[in-house]
Chains A and B, each alone.
Chain A
């Protein structure tokens, strides 16, 4: 008896924390999404489904569709770049690993917004890169690298790539490379050993990397804001607009609820398809 109550005391703060900071805001958001916007400021406590019906409008559906496309493209690109990066990093000698780890982590010491503005200095028309290229005579006209879909995509990949790299790295790091030798010894060519052994054993890293990249890429709005020049509208931007400019908090809440439902659905389906137990904690 005594032990049990002791345990309860130890666990209690965790429950309180979870209720206060996780469940609380979620319930608040859910309730908010069924209320009505007041004429000038705040909300009226009248139950309505209006907010959700509004999302069915073509403009908003388009926004969702754009966001999903961008999230998929971002995830695919980070995987394509991040997997080989993480894989080769795991094969480096110990000292080099530390160096690369540092190189990946250092950007995190700078605010993400600052880094995006850094991009503008580099890539804008007549920015550092274009000046350089023009000086070399490689281009005569502006490349118009910023303020379009590609720039936003590149920014997203840049911002989220470390998560993919570190995720792949952490599972490749645990790889027992004699297994690859064993496969070759049993008659596998290098690519066969890679597909049947390495890829399978680093799959947990890929799976969690995909989740770590996909979820934030649905919500990141400042990259689209800064590098898209306001021309690219994602769900994240839409929510931010509704909150800060239009001040339609119930609609913003409804958008957030739908976004969350979609993400949950994605993880659930993803788990079903990949039969992954590694993602247990995520859903």
Chain B
């Protein structure tokens, strides 16, 4: 309890008629990298705005280092935000932008200058201190925004889709750098993204959000391999949701096997056969579509109950053509029982 740097208790927030947050509970440990993952509009930004003090919750509490800051102004909280559009001050150069927080704290010119240089070094932007924000690339602005926040040594750093506007290659590189920076500084990060891969790559824990609630909070491993609900399985693992024998199962597409004939009933019992060959399922369906997406073969199968199942493979699978009938199988451990929403 004492090492929880931030605690959210029953946070609720509505804008007019829309209930944007419907009871958010969260404990974040000192130095943790926590990701809020969810599709656009689910309330991620609103959540961190409440932590930053830019929005007041209708109900609930925000505890920072054990202190109730729910009704405190932003300047009274040792929390900083990296905004989605960076929000760099256009009339200040890089040095003035980064030094802004320290200047407010009435630090001496010398102290500010040294801290700015240090921060620029951390984000690898030495030599850029006199540039104006308009003279920087997207990636460089991002670094300035990060430097501007970490210079204040916040207890918690809030990052709102910080890499959203960058191209894929730069994203990958920045993901690694951010992670390195977070480890080095030991600052607690709350990181927003709607990109599951990014969340899985970077986080200590992921909180999957849907319609203003957390559906599941856990490590990348827990969320990916043991999704609690069909939504989490679909959103984080791109899993197929299959209804069989009154159960809801999540099976990821790479684990879907296709057979042209129904296998013996005996094969469905995992104990009976060698682990490699044991499959369950045997649901009849028809191939609907076959395409290459991102170097993967993607086969869409329509099951009899109307459910669509996607099987993905590396390489070329010439055996299957649209219109053929087939049977869908998976290894028993690949099917995870999940809750319907």
Contact A184/B91 with A178-B83, A178-B85, A192-B104 known, Cβ cut-off 8 Å: no
State the Cβ distance, B332 to closest chain A Cβ, in Å: 50
The reply to whether the CB of B61 lies closer than 8 angstroms to some CB of chain A is no
Residues in A whose Cβ lies below 8 Å from that of B295: none
Judged by a CB distance under 8 angstroms, whether A176 is at the interface is yes
A187 in contact with B101 (CB, 8 Å): yes
A183 within 8 A of B: yes
Given the complex of chains A and B, what is the CA–CA distance between A197 and B100 in angstroms?
11
Report the minimal beta-carbon distance from B231 to chain A, rounded to whole angstroms.
Answer: 30
Residue contact B91 to A182, C-beta cutoff 8 Å: no
Any chain A CB within 8 A of the CB of B270? Answer: no
In the complex, chain A residues 183-238 whose Cβ is within 8 Å of any chain B Cβ: 183-189, 192, 196-197, 200-201
The reply to whether A181 and B54 contact each other, CB–CB distance below 8 Å, is: yes
Chain B residue nearest to A179 in the complex (CB): B87
The answer to whether A184 and B74 have CB atoms under 8 Å apart is: yes
User: How far does the Cβ of A159 sit from chain B's closest Cβ, in whole Å?
Assistant: 32
Bound Cα distance A72, B46 (Å): 47
Q: Which of A185, A192, A197 contacts B52 (CB 8 A)?
A: A185
Tell me which residues from 62 to 100 in chain B have a Cβ below 8 Å from any Cβ of chain A. 73-75, 79-81, 83, 85, 87, 89-91, 100
Are A179 and B89 in contact, with the CB atoms below 8 A?
Answer: yes
Query: Once the chains are docked, how many angstroms separate the CA of A178 from the CA of B81?
Result: 11
Q: Which of A137-196 contact B (CB under 8 A)?
A: 176, 178-179, 181-189, 192, 196
Distance of A162 from chain B, by nearest CB (Å): 27
Whether B130 is near chain A, meaning CB under 8 Å from some CB there, is no
Q: How far is the CB of A189 from chain B (nearest CB, A)?
A: 6
Is residue B277 within 8 Å, beta carbon to beta carbon, of the partner chain? no
Q: Cβ of B54 and Cβ of A187 under 8 Å apart?
A: no
The size class of the interface chain A forms with chain B is 10 to 19
A187 and B75 in contact, given A181-B54, A182-B81, A192-B104 (Cβ under 8 angstroms): yes
Contacting pair B54 A186 (CB below 8 A): no
Interface residues on B, range: 20 to 34
Contacts of A200 in B (CB 8 A): 91
B85 & A184 in contact (Cβ 8 Å cutoff): no
Check: B152 CB closer than 8 A to any chain A CB. Answer: yes
In the complex, chain A residues whose CB is within 8 Å of the CB of B149: 186
Residues of chain B within 8 A of A185, CB atoms compared: 52-54, 74, 79-81
Q: B91 touching A201 by the CB < 8 A rule?
A: yes
B15-52 interface bits toward A, Cβ cutoff 8 Å, 1 = contact, 0 = none: 00000000000000000000000000000000000001
Evaluate whether A184 and B100 lie within 8 angstroms (CB atoms) in the complex, with A201-B90, A201-B91 already known. no
When the two chains form their complex, are residues B83 and A188 in contact, meaning their CB atoms are under 8 A apart?
A: no
> How far does the Cβ of A176 sit from chain B's closest Cβ, in whole Å?
7
Chain B: CB-nearest residue to A193: B75
Contact partners of B83 in chain A: CB under 8 A:
178, 181-182
Residues of B within 8 A of A187 (CB): 74-75, 101, 104-105, 152
B75/A197 in contact, CB under 8 A: no
Which one of A176, A181, A182, A188 contacts B104 once the chains associate, using CB atoms below 8 Å? A188
Residues of A within 8 A of B91 (CB): 200-201
Contact of B80 with A184 in the complex, beta carbons under 8 Å: no
Bound complex: CA A176 to CA B84 (Å): 13
Cβ-defined partner of B73 (8 Å) among A176, A184, A196: A184
The closest CB in chain A to the CB of B103 belongs to A196
- Determine which residue in A176, A183, A192 has the highest number of CB atoms from chain B within 10 A of its CB, and name it: A183
Which B residues touch A184, using CB under 8 A?
53-54, 73-75
| A178 / chain B contacts, CB cutoff of 8 Å | 83, 85, 87
Once bound together, how far apart are the Cα atoms of A200 and B90, in whole Å?
A: 10
Extra inter-chain contacts (7) besides given A187-B152, A188-B100, CB under 8 Å: A178-B83, A178-B87, A181-B54, A182-B81, A185-B80, A189-B73, A200-B91
Interface CB pairs A-B, < 8 A, 10: A178-B87, A179-B90, A182-B87, A184-B74, A185-B54, A186-B104, A187-B152, A189-B73, A200-B91, A201-B91
B interface residues, Cβ below 8 angstroms from A: 52-54, 73-75, 79-81, 83, 85, 87, 89-91, 100-101, 104-105, 148-149, 152
Q: Which are the 7 A-B pairs with shortest beta-carbon distances?
A: A182-B87, A186-B101, A184-B74, A187-B104, A178-B87, A185-B81, A187-B75
